[in-house]
Amino acid sequence: MRPFLLQVAAVTLINLKSIPQRFWLSLSTVVAVALVVMVLLTFLAMSYGFQKTLSGTGAADVAIALRGGAAAEINSAVTRDQVRLIEEGPGIDRGADGRPLTSAELYLVVDGVKRSTGTKANLPLRGVGRDGANVRKGITIQAGRMFAPGSNEVVVGKSLASEFAGFDLGQTVKLGTSQWTVVGVFTADGGVFESEIWADAPAVQSLFKRENYFQTVRARLESPAALASLKQYVESDPRLKLDVKTEQDFYAEQSGQTTDLIQKLGWPLAIAMAFGALAGALNTMYSSVAARAVEIATLRAIGFGGTPAFIGTLVESLLLSVIGGIIGAVATWLIFDGFTTSTLGASFTQVVFSFHLSPALVLQGVGLALVVGLVGGLFPAIRAARQPIVAGLAG
Partner 1 sequence: MSDHALVRLEGVTKGFVKGQESIAIFKALDLAIPTGDFVAVMGPSGSGKTTLLNLLGGIDHVDAGAITVAGQRIDGLSENALARYRAANVGFVFQFYNLMPMLTAAQNVELPLLLTPLKKAQRRTHVETALAVVGLADRAKHYPREMSGGQQQRVAIARAIVSDPKILLCDEPTGDLDRATADEILGVLQTLNRELGKTIVMVTHDPAAARYAKRTLHLDKGQFFEKDLAA
- Identify the CA nearest to 123 among candidates 66, 83, 189, 180: 180
In this complex, which beta carbon is closest to partner 1, that of residue 17 or of residue 209? 17
In this complex, which beta carbon is closest to partner 1, that of residue 8 or of residue 219? 8
Answer for which of 295, 337, 341, 382 binds partner 1 (CB under 8 A) is 295
CA distance 226 to 80: 23
> What is the x/- site pattern for partner 1, positions 167-196, by CB under 8 A?
------------------------------
Does residue number 382 form part of the binding site for partner 1 (CB under 8 A)? no
Minimum distance, C-beta of residue 387 to partner 1, in the bound complex (Å):
12
CA distance 287 to 281: 10
Asked if 354 and 343 touch (Cβ cutoff 8 Å), the reply is no
In this complex, which beta carbon is closest to partner 1, that of residue 229 or of residue 298? 298
Asked if 362 and 44 touch (Cβ cutoff 8 Å), the reply is no
Could you give the maximum distance between any two Cα atoms of the chain, in Å? 96
Stretch that binds partner 1, among 7-15, 36-44, 137-145, 152-160 (CB under 8 A): 7-15
Which helix (H) or strand (E) covers residue 43, if one does? helix 23-55
In this complex, which beta carbon is closest to partner 1, that of residue 359 or of residue 395? 395
CA distance 124 to 248: 19
Does residue number 23 form part of the binding site for partner 1 (CB under 8 A)? no
Answer for which of 294, 340, 363, 367 binds partner 1 (CB under 8 A) is 294
Minimum distance, C-beta of residue 329 to partner 1, in the bound complex (Å):
30
In this complex, which beta carbon is closest to partner 1, that of residue 4 or of residue 275? 4
Which residues are CB-neighbours of 379 under 8 A, at least 6 positions away?
282, 285, 286
Answer for which of 10, 331, 371, 375 binds partner 1 (CB under 8 A) is 10
- 170, burial (CB in 10 Å: exposed 0-12, middle 13-18, buried 19+): exposed
CA distance 6 to 260: 48
Tell which positions 297-336 bind partner 1, by CB under 8 A: 298-306
Does residue number 134 form part of the binding site for partner 1 (CB under 8 A)? no
Residue type, 164: F
In this complex, which beta carbon is closest to partner 1, that of residue 229 or of residue 307? 307
Tell which positions 343-362 bind partner 1, by CB under 8 A: none
Asked if 46 and 180 touch (Cβ cutoff 8 Å), the reply is no
Minimum distance, C-beta of residue 18 to partner 1, in the bound complex (Å):
6
Residue 349 carries which DSSP code?
S
Number of residues that bind partner 1 (CB under 8 A): 23
Full DSSP string of 160-176 = HHHHBTT-STT-EEEET
In this complex, which beta carbon is closest to partner 1, that of residue 186 or of residue 304? 304
Stretch that binds partner 1, among 173-181, 214-222, 295-303, 344-352 (CB under 8 A): 295-303
In this complex, which beta carbon is closest to partner 1, that of residue 7 or of residue 26? 7
359: three-class secondary structure by DSSP: helix
Minimum distance, C-beta of residue 352 to partner 1, in the bound complex (Å):
54
Stretch that binds partner 1, among 32-40, 293-301, 343-351, 374-382 (CB under 8 A): 293-301
Which residues are CB-neighbours of 156 under 8 A, at least 6 positions away?
167, 182, 184, 185, 186, 196, 197, 198
Minimum distance, C-beta of residue 298 to partner 1, in the bound complex (Å):
4
- Identify the CA nearest to 242 among candidates 68, 104, 63: 68
CA–centroid distance for 316 within its chain: 34
In this complex, which beta carbon is closest to partner 1, that of residue 298 or of residue 358? 298
Does residue number 6 form part of the binding site for partner 1 (CB under 8 A)? yes
Minimum distance, C-beta of residue 357 to partner 1, in the bound complex (Å):
37
CA distance 302 to 304: 6
Give the interface with partner 1 as residue ranges (CB under 8 A): 2-3, 6-7, 10, 13-14, 17-18, 294-295, 298-306, 389-390, 393
